[in-house]
Chains A and B, each alone.
Chain A
Amino acid sequence: MKKIILITLLMVVFLTGSVALAADKVNVQFWHAMGGWRIELLQEMAQDFMALNPDINVEVQYTGSYGDTINKLNVAIQSNVAPHVVQGYDIATQMLIDGEVAVPMQDLIDADPDFDIGTFMPQVLNYYRVGGKLYCMPFNSSNAIMFYNKTLFKKAGLDPDRPPKTYEELLDYAEKLMVKDDKGNVAQAGITWNLHCWFFEQFMAVQNAALTDNDNGRTGRPTKAIFNSDDGLKTFTFWNDLTKNGSMINTKVHDWTGARNLFISQKVAMIITSTSDVALMVKSAKENNFELGTAFIPAPADAESGGVVIGGGSLWMVAGKPEAETKAAWEFVKFMAQSAQQIKWHTGTGYFPVRKDAVEDLLAQGYYSESPHNLTAILQLLLSTQNYNSNGAIIGAFAEVRAIVESNVQKMLSGDMTPAEALAAAEKEATVAIRDYEGL
């Protein structure tokens, strides 16, 4: 009997305690898709925020990949258990806007005199502004960059300070960097990038080419895909040629780690991958004793000058929460967008700082002279022509369009289709997906 009384007492104390604790703190849930060491980094940033704002409690939850996070959000919204802040990926932008799940960030910015969006990089804002309105807070931005192994360049008799700039040069370099064993198997290949439509998108943008009509869906809703162009064909042919002569290794779909490991283990001499890998690549090159180089991603020699497209993710604030919670969530989002946090995040991962003042501070601290590869990454973005093509396409059915392009690229690489056939099929299927989403 005594025991029961004791347990009951303890439970009462515990429950009242936790209720009291919850009562004077506003809870903000934050879902993100950043795996690995970045989970701790984000947790740390949330701790810093809570130290400054003792009346707000931030629950940070890793919810799997970008796709998984959108999935969970989709279900959570419908069952009213959505978090306050969620990290959405680049290509979900239109779908999230259409879903009307978020408080448009623009409204909060306009209502808050302390916050100046003008400090943000125009390249980043241009990507996330749809119809002139900012719906989410840019947070982790990246794009594609080429890393190369200077040590292997020297071995192959290539100038390590002259990375390939064009498709033509890259084809030539990749072949020279390919090493075959006595049985004719490729022991070392020239280049790799994981099988991802994102690279096709980047290749198109640097050629100043659009993916869909209505200026990449930025002056009106897209109604059809238009990437079956000369630029598209050049890119498909380039990809196919590299693969056919064995100088490129293709991974399976979205195998970022697989491609990265090929480069780190020096099985390939060049890799095109995300700028968010800069920190990791610098560290790995040191561990594996090779000299690392970075370069802008190539374009055909005769291509129009374009630019790279912003990728990565941004922070969305879910609508329909009590006012106090929305206010607390906005404080958290503002905190994450501060220059100091952006620098911490940038140096810890490689994602760009999304603010001009953060770049300025880093420059003043001598950061870019110590980390030349981060300079390549940021310069590629800053030197990009800003127009609808380099601002990136806005497509509701983007995930499906990507899968379609990837599937047809694979059919091309396995020899079932010529580059022209694969490109035509991809465009046709992508148009069906776009029209289906738009209800046309």
Chain B
Amino acid sequence: MRKWTPYFLLIPTFIIIVLFIYMPAGVSLQTSLYKVLPFGRGMNYIGLKNFLKLFSNPDYLYSVRFTILYVATTVGITILSSFLIALLMVKKIPGVRFYRTLIFAPYAISPAIAGALWTFLLNPVVGHVSYFFQTTMGIQVEWLTSKPYAFYAIIFASVWKILPFDMIFYIATIQNVPEEILESATIEGASSMDRTWKIIFPMVSPITFYLVIMNIVATMFSSFAIIDVMTKGGPGQYTTNMIYRLYLDGFYFQKAGVASAQSVILIAIMIVVTMVYFKVGERYVHYQ
């Protein structure tokens, strides 16, 4: 009996995972091979045509390129700036807890609301950011509707949204770096630059690696709300990434087959990312 207890306790979780993750994934895999007509009017088996069409569709290829650029920039900026801010946040300065709370606030906001907030701030006519630029520099920028500003706006909002998550992890890890190591380094004559980049940064590398993976997932998938609210993928598909393209095809144009093919591609990418995480992570990252 005892042998079966853990399995018994796992059943609820399994039911949910199978129902909401494996089954939909399986159905996606199946529908990706069909041309699906709206309203359940029918499905025609077309083999790999959906995939072939996608890879010969310049719009889709653009969205792939844009996703890579967007993910790389967002994750890069987020990791670096959250590490630097975390370094400040572990200093024993008055009111540090208050600042931590302030900086953590964006994480608690849903992406759609974050997008709405930035849409308002960046409004070229009545937005505060635009007002600031107009009064101080005398320039009027259409943040969400022109190139390349729409890209900057999306990056900025995404970084602002993910940064607190990374920062909390960094604060916790940096506080765990043993004082003795830093002290002995100081005695040996290491500058604060050396201590930061040659001791602290390598010692927090496992968490950096974890955060990079988490951020890639977040920017690839959760970026939907920010893009939908802020730019709707515009101007002219300029900020349409893979997940937004999928939404357009699946839920706006009612082309379930093509959208499923796109989700299969996304699943494949995530499998690769996770495998890299497990394989490379163990080999190269320094664990204490």
Contact = CB atoms under 8 A, between A and B. Distances in A.
A78 B253 contact: no
Interface stretch (A28-36, A205-213, A260-268): A260-268
B197 to A, nearest CB: 41
A288 interface: no
B236 A407 contact: yes
Contacts of A262: 125
B252 A403 contact: yes
A407 B235 CA distance: 7
Contacts of B41: 98-100
Given A99-B37, A262-B125, A439-B35, 15 more contacts: A73-B39, A78-B39, A95-B38, A98-B37, A99-B39, A183-B134, A252-B144, A252-B234, A265-B125, A399-B252, A400-B255, A407-B237, A410-B237, A413-B235, A414-B147
The 3 closest A-B pairs by CB, nearest first: A99-B39, A410-B236, A78-B40
A403 B253 contact: yes
Interface string A343-369: 000000000000000000000000000
A8 interface: no
A258 B235 CA distance: 16
Contact of B232 (A253, A399, A409): A253
Contact of A399 (B134, B238, B254): B254
Contacts of B236: 406-411, 414, 416
Contacts of A98: 37-38, 41
Interface residues of A, number: 43
25 contacts: A73-B39, A74-B38, A74-B40, A78-B39, A78-B40, A95-B38, A95-B254, A98-B37, A99-B39, A185-B134, A185-B138, A186-B140, A251-B145, A252-B144, A252-B231, A252-B235, A254-B232, A267-B126, A406-B236, A407-B236, A409-B236, A410-B145, A410-B235, A413-B235, A414-B235
A95 to B, nearest CB: 6
B253 A74 contact: no
A410 B124 CA distance: 17
Interface string A393-431: 000010110010011111101101000000000000000
Contacts, number: 94
A199 to B, nearest CB: 16
A305 interface: no
Interface residues of B, number: 33
Nearest to B146: A414
Interface of B: 35, 37-41, 123-126, 134, 138-140, 142, 144-147, 231-238, 248, 251-255
A274 interface: no
Interface string A233-275: 0000000000000000111111000100110010100000000
Nearest to B125: A267
The winner among B35, B126, B138, B145 for most chain A CB atoms within 10 A is: B145
B40 to A, nearest CB: 4
Contacts of A195: 145, 234
Nearest to B53: A436
Nearest to A251: B145
A71 B237 contact: no
Contacts of B39: 73-74, 77-78, 95-96, 99-101
A67 interface: yes
B125 A249 contact: yes
Contacts of B142: 250
A190 to B, nearest CB: 14
B135 to A, nearest CB: 10
Interface of A: 67, 70-71, 73-74, 77-78, 95-96, 98-101, 183, 185-186, 195, 249-254, 258, 261-262, 265, 267, 397, 399-400, 403, 406-411, 413-414, 416, 433, 439
A261 B127 CA distance: 12
B138 A183 contact: yes
Given A74-B38, A100-B39, A250 B145 contact: yes
Contacts of A183: 134, 138
B92 to A, nearest CB: 46
Contacts of B139: 185
Nearest to B44: A439
A256 B38 CA distance: 28
Given A261-B126, A410-B234, A74 B254 contact: yes
Given A74-B254, A100-B41, A410-B235, A403 B125 contact: no
Contacts of A99: 37-39, 41
B278 to A, nearest CB: 36
A71 B146 contact: no
Contacts of A71: 251, 254
B140 A70 contact: no
Contacts of A186: 140
A149 B79 CA distance: 50
A71 B147 CA distance: 31
Contacts of B235: 252, 410-411, 413-414
A414 B145 CA distance: 9
Contacts of A410: 145, 234-238
